[in-house]
Structure 1
Amino acid sequence: MDERRNDQQTGGAAPDPAGRRVRRALDRATGALGGGGRAVGRAVVSTHGRRVRIGLAVLLVTLVGVVTGALLGGRVESDIGPFRAELAITPTIGGGTTVRIPPLGALQLDSHDGPAHLTIQLGALDQRRTEALINNPDAINQVSQTAVQDVTSATIRLGLRTVAAALLATLVLAALVFRNSRRVAWSGLLALLVTGGSLGIAGATVHPQAIEEPRYEGLLVNAPAIIGDARQISSNYSRYAEQLQRLVGNVSKLYTTLSALPVYEPTPGTTRVLHISDMHLNPSAWQLIRTVVEQFNIDVVIDTGDITDWGSEPEASFVGSIGLLKKPYVYIRGNHDSPTTAAAVRKQPNAIVLDNSATTVAGLTIAGIGDPRFTPDKETSPAGSGLTGQVADQLIGSGEKLAATVRATRPPVNIALVHDPATAGPLSGTCPLVLAGHTHARQVLRLPEVPGGQPTQLMVQGSTGGAGLRGLEGEKPTPLTMSVLYFDQKKMLQAYDDIQVGGTGQSQVSLERHVINDPAKGDLKAPVTPTPTRGPSTAPPGPATPTSPTGSASPTR
């Protein structure tokens, strides 16, 4: 029909079969050409999309490999001064450096930019290098000069190790995913570029002044107020170096003093007790305690509290050294110790925590109660201060609870433990000896006698930790103190040795020995201590608590 219509339009000319055949051939050829173009276009698009997908897969595998390698292998151990430290690099966005000083906390430094964060964790003191400090007076200055070199060298090794670990992890992961050598090679090359570029950015953006502007975390938030910021430390470096030299010298002299000390010859069956208190997180205290335990063949260690400073969770790791003593460790809470602290102590295999309870260790019956307060943010009832109102009621009430426990305990109690000596008043006449701490000043006192009761002696320990960071507040450092108590076969105190390290601004260790002529009466030379009293409206019925004109907690010697 179309052909006839075309013929009519052309004026009825005769049909042209050859022309029609040519046109049909041209139409078929054109159609075939158009279909092929569409097929070629589809093939080009498909190839391009596949390459994009492969490229994204290579990039993803590379990033996963780099992160995995950095987390698993991006760490080294190194000596930094006398410390054994671990350095680690972790992928991040903001860069920076964290210096961890367990259990005190951490310093945050804005040291560099880039996607790599440096963490430096200080570990234990190395015995060999610490002894070198003791033997060489100039070693402290040398350590301060070489510490920067130690950190630089360790950081370079850490960077090389991180690059190698990231490359290896990426190659292994790419081989498992792709099973294609070209893609594995591309992944490895990309891993080198990513890791090297990240570390290069960190190195190129180092901020040397960051050390002067640290951000403190944990217990170290109190460090600037006590020892000054970095600029103050730098300007007063000689003073801090001298104090550190004295401390190190004291440790060495303690070893030599104890080794050469004439051994006290107690009667057969004597029990040796080491009384410590108020360590306040000072790690040096543990070394001194271990030395005394070994040199004096201690049977029992008694701790009258304030082993920590703030009672926080990070501080709990500090008590881990209790197990290393391998001796029974009897402990009560101080006002700086929290229930978390007590729980951490209780987990130690050789520890006994007393809280208005009693125990028998090495033949000694010991009763104790924790401080009724938890006040880590302030000093409470220091030596010579008056006690009135609620604080006095808390302390005396705590002493009365323990006194009731002591009277009910069988066999009879040989030693009662309280943290604040102001708690000891109600214990007068209930037992021969009360041990306390809290005041950071050693004292030996007698409690006022009560009718029908036995003489009771109160021994207040100083600070075995030199009051921790508080020990640096004064012009002279607080001494580290502890006492060795000797009990005869009847479990009566027959002698005691007072050990003191430092405390006069000079390097010295002193040991003062006291022998009690009549153990049943105690040290008659000790002065009688006044004790705090309740207000008239709060006094309980029954025997009156010993009173004093001043109501002072623990008078100074």
Structure 2
Amino acid sequence: MTISKKSELLTSILLAMTGAVLLVSLFGYMRFNIDALQFRVTVQFNEKGYTEVEIPPLGTVRAHTHTAPLLVSVRLENIDLQLIQRLLSDTTERNEVVEQSKTVLQQVAVIFVIKLIGLAMLGGALGVFLTRKGNLKKYIIGSLTGSITAGVLLAAAYLTYDISAFRNPQYTGVLRVAPWMVGLAQETFGKIETVGENLEIIAKNLNLLYERLDNLQPLGETTDEFKILHVSDLHNNPAGMDFVLRVADLFGADMIIDTGDISDFGTPLEALLLEQLNHIDIPYFFIPGNHDAPAIIDRMNQIPNVTVVNGLVEKNGLLFYGVPDPSSADNTVIPSDLSIIPRLTQQVVNRIDQIAPGVDIALLHNDKMARALAGHVPVILFGHNHRMAITQQEGSILVNAGTSGAAGLRGLQTTQIPYSVVLLHFRPDENGQNRLVAADAISVSNLEQGFTLDRRRFDIGE
């Protein structure tokens, strides 16, 4: 073979490899479903061998899993929430789906590899075509070169693949500040059922204690009394949500006010927790927190008896003014910049002061904004900092429900963070206007020591 022919052959091989890389990079993807989840997997040439899992809008988890210069990306594109809800409630069906998923993944892997090799073969022929001197033999050589290139790289990725690399992954996006999510399901979800059962027992015992407390310090309840259960910062804890609904039922609450952070990252998947709210038959006022993204707010707006409060709302003769956290307008979970709090607070104060005959209850998520409203509204309900407290300042009663979900699923991994709610008692005064007369701070410090109930009365002074 002459030097010119060798050079021409080498050029054809290089062009074939380039064509294979180009076509695989452009079209090397595939969509597939595993029951309620739809994924998109892609393969691209990269300096190092990485596998990344993208979960919009949370971010990406990436690990150096293999030596071949390929980037394998798996992106969660769609979720069938109704199907997931059914699977979570049916253990037998869930186990069947897990077994079926293994078969589906094997089939998808085989089909995807065949597609990639086919693309590489076509790309190899395309690379030869670019020389404009192609003939059948050269096209065959180009196709073989492309397929061999893809086959060798895929084989190298398979043979060197190390799934344990995800024990020390790289995070981007929101996941960068929450790496605990990777092992959360394994470490935590098994505890939810036990926690929920214990909280049910505690809720019933609370009711007994509540009756005894009434015997000691009777409020003289009448049919005119209006009871509001104030909750906040559930953070995706199903046990906490169950506890809230049971307490509302056992104590005969007339409505529930939730001052935000019902979710952790505001994703559609987290909206599954909200399905429990479909069963409530009393009004539920919700003020979005910094963890509640538009997807959560949209879902809350679709639930009967739930009102997402943003501005002035009237109920049972009381005027409520709700102020969503500014961060709830987008998909970030970062609290608002402290430097803008004074300006935002002043805007809220100006609006409230212009409302006649006057706002009875202000509903906020941010604790700093709430405290700045003291003196402008008789009762101010808020959360955010996970510290339950009932205080009086400048003639206002400030109520922080703490965290009704014990800081969320993360709270299931510790007994240091209490579950907390506050039951508010309103009664008509001599003018027929409902006023806050008592607040019961209910706190479950941990499941072994039980709970505390602390009543503050405002109709007889300290």
TM range (shorter): 0.5 to 0.7
Establish whether residue 95 from structure 1 lines up as the match of residue 46 from structure 2.
no
Query: Could you give the per-residue CA deviations for residues 425-483 of structure 1, whole angstroms, max 9, x where no partner exists?
Result: 5534523542311143677x574574xxxxx55453555776356434414887698xx
Query: Which of 178, 181, 203 is the equivalent residue of 2:136?
Result: 181
CA RMSD across the alignment: 5.4
In the alignment, which residue of structure 2 is the partner of 1:155? 109
* Residue in 2 that maps onto 1:405: 350
Q: Distance in 1 between matches of 2:324 and 2:96?
A: 48
Q: Is structure 2 residue 261 aligned with structure 1 residue 280? A: no
Q: How does 1:517-528 map to 2 (within 5 A)?
A: 517-518=427-428, 520-526=433-439
Question: 2:84 maps to which residue?
Answer: 130
Partner in structure 1 of residue 19 of structure 2: 65
- Inter-partner Cα distance in structure 2 for 1:185 and 1:360: 74
Q: Is the 8 A contact 2:406 2:420 kept in 1?
A: yes
C-alpha separation in 1, matches of 2:416 and 2:29:
41
Identity, in percent, stands at: 18
Which whole-Å CA distance do the structure 2 matches of 1:169 and 1:274 have between them?
A: 57
Give the 3 Å change call, closer, same or farther, for CA 430–243 of structure 1 in structure 2: same
Show the 5 A alignment for 1:387-426: 401=346, 404-406=349-351, 408-410=353-355, 412-413=358-359, 415-421=361-367, 424-425=370-371
Q: Structure 1 CA distance, aligned partners of 2:403 and 2:262?
A: 5
Question: Structure 1 CA distance, aligned partners of 2:33 and 2:353?
Answer: 56
CA shift for structure 1 position 245: 6.0
Shift of 1:212: 4.0
Q: Is the 8 A contact 1:367 1:406 kept in 2?
A: no
Structure 1 residue 113, shift from structure 2 partner: 1.5
For structure 2, which runs of at least 5 residues remain unmatched after alignment?
Answer: 197-235, 442-453, 457-462
1:471 to 398, 401, 411: 411
Aligned partner letter, 1:199: L
Give CA-to-partner distance per residue, 1:278-322, whole Å, 9 cap, x none.
63326465334466379769797422x3317xxxxxxxxx54444
Residues 40, 75 of structure 2: 8 Å contact kept = yes
C-alpha distance in structure 2 between counterparts of 1:464 and 1:425, whole Å: 20
How far apart, CA to CA, are the structure 2 residues paired with 1:169 and 1:295?
59
1:112: which partner in 2?
66
Q: Distance in 2 between matches of 1:197 and 1:424?
A: 63
Q: Secondary structure of 2:65's match? A: coil
Q: Does 1:243 align with 2:191?
A: yes
C-alpha displacement at 1:199, in angstroms? Answer: 0.7
Contact (CA 8 Å) 1:80, 1:147: kept in 2 or not? yes
Distance 1:281 1:322 in 2: 12
After TM superposition, the structure 1 stretch with the greater mean CA deviation from structure 2, 87-96 or 434-443, is: 434-443
Change (3 A) 1:165 1:180: same
Q: How does 1:227-242 map to 2 (within 5 A)?
A: 237=186, 240-242=188-190
Letter in structure 2 aligned against 1:440:
H
List per-residue Cα deviations over 1:193-213 (Å, max 9, x = no partner): 111121111122223543444
SS in 1 for 2:71: strand
Is 1:76–1:87's contact at 8 Å kept on the other side of the alignment?
yes
Is the Cα contact below 8 Å between 2:259 and 2:382 reproduced in 1? no
| CA spacing shift, 1:240–1:527, aligned 2, 3 Å | closer
Instruction: Give the TM-score taking structure 1 as reference length.
Output: 0.52
1:166 aligns with 2:123: no
Match of 1:202 among 157, 160, 165: 157
The count of residues paired between Structure 1 and Structure 2 equals 380
Cα 1:192–1:465 shift into 2, 3 Å: farther
Change (3 A) 1:306 1:149: same
TM-score (norm. length: structure 2): 0.60
Correspondence for 2:277: 292
Secondary structure at the counterpart of residue 86 of structure 1: strand
**Alpha-carbon distance change, 196 to 128 in structure 1, aligned in 2, over 3 angstroms:** farther
Asked if 2 retains the 8 angstrom alpha-carbon contact of 1:282 and 1:468, the reply is no
Q: Which has the higher strand share?
A: 2
Which one has the largest radius of gyration?
1
5+ long unaligned stretches in structure 1? 1-43, 309-317, 329-349, 354-358, 380-390, 451-455, 482-497, 499-511, 529-554
State the distance in 1 between where 2:419 and 2:253 align: 27
Q: What does the per-residue CA deviation read over 1:250-284, in whole Å, with 9 as the maximum and x for residues that have no partner?
A: 59x97xx89xx9xx999xxxx99764336332646
Q: Hey, what does 1:35 align to over in structure 2?
A: none
